[in-house]
Structure 1
């Protein structure tokens, strides 16, 4: 059975661990979170012309060189020398949800730590359990360099997070923020390297890569955003990378991962985007 990952989850995991049937369900939930809705590989897996590089899944090394930082995605496979193989479950859970490594140092952007603080206890447990099953890859990556001052922490220790309320908008908000972190890229960034939450979903961030420069779209119901789009067009953009005009959308959005989202997840996400305050 999987190991209990920290005091905050101590009350949750015994209930899951009490049944032998819980483990497959937990791992499948973790796989879906890591590979589909969370699209962790979009940053942590090296990408080639055809997408994720085989044999290097979650091995890190992707460089994000922006004015505030030169961040290098770490190896999050269970390799004991270059990955997370020697981290305890509690240390891994804390790194994911609070951005604090086992040595006490802070994980900086573009890891969306302020959003991951909203991961529910159940989903955090599932992610940790699944990452333990990923094939280890030996790949030592360079350290990130920050040209901004990182905060001492992203907030007080997270004790426990409940699942979202069982409504489409609440589930969509959880998905777009705590899991898929859509708002990390689609919300303007402050000079501190954190998102301007007063302009949630307003878009405008630039992303440079082999494709040139792509600009994050306004996701609010504004006329310059998704106001004129149908629900089906929004879903097609998320899962196929095609805009309402039929134009092919550019990376770095993980269309390859989001194509495997469930119909309920997509419906919830659309419901949440429709509920956002209009941003010009």
Structure 2
């Protein structure tokens, strides 16, 4: 077989492989892996374990903030208590703009400021997957809004990324880190707004069944951050919650969800994190 024939054969295999992933499969990978949607939108049983029989039917946690009080919504196709009556465009608008079909806002605890970067294909895949999950009847208390809402969008993430951008490992890593809203937790807040001048520095405090934990510095700083960590150290922290020194990280970081990500995607995330300016 000639070199040209081999290349043509390999290209054909890659094409078939790429075509084999349906929108529902891509949406499943995003929703149940990268985006960790179930972390906030699923009920939990004893010990905080997610109830797999009622996935996406509404979370148990209530966020009582100065500007809003909300719980994770029912995002199953249930017509009465979920999003079964929403159109595809309604769901896409909620994801990328934080606007309900009624025209009202979503609370920014839903990180739609980080979702403006979604490609058209990924938005459609998420919708396709959410249409496919079992409908669960579970009425969640309606949101209460107390003041004007502020939405944070990371620099460079204010518009959809192109497919061409995603072919670059660092740009693709930035895309994945953004839609996974990593910097929502790993960036300090000043006056309840994310301080993107210190992107990745950490410092936010989170309280839950695990006790109290503080988000870590994930910049390239060699001592305060992860600059001295190997690629495998970083991947292990993301997917298993284990630091370089072998100690364990605490929730709410969704290690079990991120463990479903491909090694290639994790590699691109690492490539991007290496470029985040060191902060201490």
TM-score, normalisation: structure 2 = 0.84
Larger radius of gyration: 2
Aligned to 1:77: 76
8 A contact 1:106–1:152 mirrored in 2:
no
Match of 1:14 in 2: none
Cα deviation digits, residues 188-246 of structure 1 (max 9, x gap):
2243x442222211111111001111111011011211122221111111011111121
Structure 1 unaligned runs (5+)? 1-20
Q: Under a length normalisation based on structure 1, what TM-score does the superposition of the two structures give?
A: 0.84
CA–CA distance in 2 between the matches of 1:79 and 1:162?
A: 33
Partner of 2:168: 167
Asked if the contact 2:113–2:152 (Cα under 8 Å) also holds between the matched residues in 1, the reply is no
> After the TM superposition, which residues 244-259 of structure 1 pair with which residues of structure 2 at under 5 Å, given as runs?
244-259=244-259
Residue by residue, what CA displacement relative to the aligned partner does 1:22-51 show, whole Å, maximum 9, x if unpaired?
Answer: 696111101100001111101111233363
SS of the counterpart of 1:208? strand
- Secondary structure at the aligned position of 1:71 is classed as strand
Separation of aligned partners in 1, 2:56 and 2:147:
26
The yes-or-no answer on 1:28 pairing with 2:31 is: no
Distance 1:52 1:219, change over 3 A: same
Distance of 2:189 and 2:78 partners within structure 1: 33
Equivalent in the alignment of 2:116: 117
Distance (Å, rounded) in 2 between the aligned partners of 1:71 and 1:190: 22
- Contact 2:219/2:227, CA 8 A, preserved across alignment: yes
Kindly indicate whether the alpha-carbon contact (under 8 Å) linking 1:235 and 1:266 is maintained by their aligned counterparts in 2.
yes
Match of 1:46 among 39, 43, 47: 43
1:52: Cα distance to partner? 1.8
Which secondary structure state, in structure 2, belongs to the residue aligned with residue 275 of structure 1?
coil
> Is 1:63–1:70's contact at 8 Å kept on the other side of the alignment?
no
- Indicate the residue corresponding to 1:202 in structure 2: 201
Q: Map 1:67-216 to 2 at 5 A.
A: 67-68=65-66, 69-151=68-150, 161-163=161-163, 164-177=165-178, 179-191=179-191, 193-216=192-215
Count of residues paired in the alignment: 255
Paired residues of 1:71 and 1:109 also in contact (CA < 8 A): no
| Equivalence for 2:54 | 56
CA distance in structure 2 between the aligned counterparts of 1:67 and 1:83, rounded to whole angstroms: 23
Tell whether 2:265 aligns with 1:268.
no
More displaced 10-residue stretch of structure 1: 230-239 or 23-32:
23-32
In 2, the alpha carbon distance for the partners of 1:243 and 1:146 equals 38
Give the root-mean-square deviation of aligned CA atoms: 2.2
Q: Which position in structure 2 is the counterpart of 1:37?
A: 34
